[in-house]
Amino acid sequence: MSWWILLGIVIIFIAFSVYRYMKSKKILTTLSEDEFKQEYRKAQLIDVREPKEFDSGHILGARNIPLSQMRNRTAEIRQDKPVYLYCQSGARSTRAAMLLHKKGYKDLNQLEGGFKKWNGKIKAKK
């Protein structure tokens, strides 16, 4: 009997993961570095990593709104302009996009592979 419960939990987890993946593909555009570089200066560039990560190096012109603070700081992000998100690898920026979409944001984009794949200009605190 306990195997059936465990199997049910695993199936529910997989179904939820697939749902989130499909939803993120629908609301979020993943851009290559070249595509990202072409437009990010005209958009709101948001680094959703934590402040320590941001201070160690970030894309030139980015604002730091950590995912952990995003829910309380959405008023800092305009809904009428494209939003370009990135984190270290892409997981947190996807979660940030889901949260922003729930709040009515439409033009959501993320950097493919995240900051660790970025080869453009960066700025770091000294």
Q: For 60-103, write each residue's pLDDT tens digit.
A: 999 999 999 999 999 999 999 999 999 999 889 999 999 999 99
Q: Could you report the per-residue pLDDT of 8-18, keeping only the tens digit for each?
A: 888 888 887 77
We report the CATH number of the domain holding residue 59 as 3.40.250.10
Q: Which domain holds residue 108?
A: 29-123
Tally of structural domains, the chain: 1
Q: Is residue 102 part of a domain?
A: yes
Task: With respect to residue 9, please indicate whether it lies within any of the assigned structural domains.
Answer: no
Residue 19 is assigned to a structural domain of this protein: no
In a domain, 16, yes or no: no
What confidence tens digit (pLDDT) does each residue in 23-59 have? 777 789 999 999 999 988 899 999 999 999 999 999 9
**Is residue 106 situated within a structural domain?**
yes
- Interatomic CA distance for residues 12 and 103, integer angstroms: 26
Query: What gap in Å lies between CA 53 and CA 49, rounded to an integer?
Result: 6
What pLDDT, on a 0 to 100 scale, did the predictor assign at position 2? 85
pLDDT at 18: 77
**What distances in angstroms separate CA 100 from CA 30, 56, 57, 85, 122, one per listed residue?**
15, 26, 24, 11, 25
Residue 10 inside a domain? The answer is no
Angle between helices 91-102 and 2-27 (to 10 degrees): 70
Residue 38 lies in a domain: yes
C-alpha to C-alpha distances, 19 to 16, 70, 75, 84, nearest whole angstrom: 5, 22, 28, 23
pLDDT band at 126 (very low <50, low <70, confident <90, very high): low
Q: Are 31 and 111 in contact (CB under 8 A)?
A: yes
